[in-house]
Structure 1
Amino acid sequence: MSEFCASHHRRRENMHRHRLETAYDRIAQEYAERNHMVPPLIQMGSRFLSRLRPGTRVLDVGCGDGLHMAWMEAQGFQVTGIDLSTGMLAQARARGVQGKLVQMDMCHLAFPPASFEGIWCCASLLHLPKAQAPMALDQLHRVLVPRGMLYLSIQEGEGEQWEVTRFAEVERFFARYTSQEAKALLSQAGFSLDECHRDEAGPRQWISFLAKVAE
């Protein structure tokens, strides 16, 4: 890649990141007020945590208002939360989570290799352009221990675009994947698929994956 192309790519990546961060800063309080743990998410969360040793380290990628982080902490796990939005991180602090909260981009994780036994990535990868998904999954793989466990949820579909959803009158970016697309990305990043489940939440179909670092 030429220096000009690389510079252009970085500018586009930074613009996307800033636009998404601003969107979630604007809706942070409303999001926290309306967010709750739905039964399918509790079931998948319990399956994810059951694959980890009690009390081990978990990274919540795109932790948002800290709802999932607080739930995992209540199960006895040491959870670190990262998010692009400082507004969302403020909501997580207000929720009273105990773990470390850091503003961070999932494509550039500032953690040493093998820092976590588990990664919870719920409705976060879908906010990245598809071109950045392999980089993000490579980063998740890097910071997991051997045989570490990943939970990943995405919206099923095709394409990618900025759009206003029913949740809030703010444009957010969504990249949607077919099951085969997501499975291929996980495999290419070095993950071995354990489980795949579909659930409806609102007007969209969601797919959840449990995958571990392949041996």
Structure 2
Amino acid sequence: MDSITEITRASYERSAHTYAGATWEYHNFPGLQMDALNFSESLQTTGPILDLGCGGGRDANYFASHGHRVVAADISVQMLREARRRIAPSRESQVDFVCVDIRRLPFQGKTFSGVWASGSLLHVPRADLLPSLRKIAKVLKAGGLAALSMKNGAGEGWEQLGAVSGSRWFTYVDPTDFADLMRQAGFEPVSYQPSSRGTWFLATGYV
């Protein structure tokens, strides 16, 4: 594991309980629940959803509540423990938990009907975005959908903010440039829309 990934992971490890609590309620993130619902209803094939960078399990719990099987994946073991603890008991059998690095997905090809990555790919260095997107495309079934949220901007580097104690790596990208990367990775059609949450945007694409 490289130093950028390790430092970011360690920050989430230290702050897992606080972060999971601060991000659990959708009302703190205007429009996000509707994004998750639209993603869920736009899936065109059957199979589990990969919640990539699941954090405290908010979205995995939501997808399970709509009848989906979910693989909740995160690089932080402590965050996965928080997610497991917070999933509703009635939905536990629908959710599996896996510790992964986004850039090294351990799943077989054509496994998932959808990949949801809410605020996780922005921790991947810019040079690793295209290879990571190609890996995401590979684990999707034909007709599978990816919904990936990023922050609009330019540049990358360390920041300390929010409910996380410690530094995290943030990569900012223009939505048009990110859509081009998705197309290069094999997604088509690709679209993106701005969020009501500051500079966030959501990019979607099928394989």
- TM-score of the superposition, structure 1-length normalised? 0.87
Q: Note if 1:212 corresponds to 2:206.
A: yes
Asked if residue 61 in structure 1 is aligned to residue 39 in structure 2, the reply is: no
1:16-51 alpha-carbon deviations (Å, 9 max, x no partner): 221111010011111111112234111111111111
Please say which of residues 146-155 and 38-47 is displaced more in the overlay: 38-47
2:10 matches 1:27: no
What is the aligned partner in structure 2 of residue 7 from structure 1? none
Query: Structure 1, residues 93-121: CA drift from partner, whole Å, max 9, x if none?
Result: 11136211111111111111100011001
**How far apart, in 1, do the equivalents of 2:52 and 2:100 lie?**
9
Q: Distance in 2 between matches of 1:190 and 1:54?
A: 17
Match of 2:108 among 96, 109, 112: 112
Letter of the aligned partner of 1:62 in structure 2?
G
Pairwise CA RMSD: 1.6
Give the structure with the larger strand fraction: 1
The alignment-based identity, stated in percent, is 29
Q: Which has the higher contact order (CA 8 A, sep 6+)?
A: 2
CA apart distance, 1:55: 6.6
Cα distance in 1, alignment partners of residues 103 and 162 from structure 2 = 28
Q: Which residue of 162, 174, 179 maps to 1:178?
A: 174
String of CA shifts for 1:172-193, please: whole Å, max 9, x gaps.
Answer: 1100000111011101100013
Amino acid at match of 2:77: T
Structure 1 position 164 matched with structure 2 position 160: yes
- Whole-Å separation in 1 of the counterparts to 2:33 and 2:99: 25
Which is further off, 71-80 or 91-100? 91-100
Give a deviation string over 1:39-98, Cα, whole Å, max 9, x none. Answer: 411111111111125973100100111111000000000000111101100100111362
Q: Which letter maps to 1:52?
A: L
Q: Matched residues in 1 for 2:205 and 2:44: separation?
A: 16
CA distance in 2, matches of 1:168, 1:111: 29
Mapped pair 1:74 → 2:104 = no
| Structure 1, 144-153 or 33-42: larger mean CA deviation | 33-42
For the 8 Å contact 1:55–1:78, the answer to whether it is kept is no
Query: Where does structure 1 differ by over 6 angstroms across 4 or more consecutive aligned residues?
Result: none
Counterpart CA distance in 2 for 1:112 and 1:177 is 29
Q: Which runs of 5+ in 2 are unaligned?
A: none
- Give distance in 2, aligned partners of 1:171 and 1:73: 32
Q: How many residues align?
A: 199
Q: 1:155 offset after TM fit, Å? A: 0.6
8 Å Cα contact 2:192/2:204 also seen in 1: yes
Instruction: State the secondary structure of the residue aligned to 2:159.
Output: strand
CA distance in 2, matches of 1:90, 1:189: 32
In terms of Rg, which structure is larger? Answer: 1
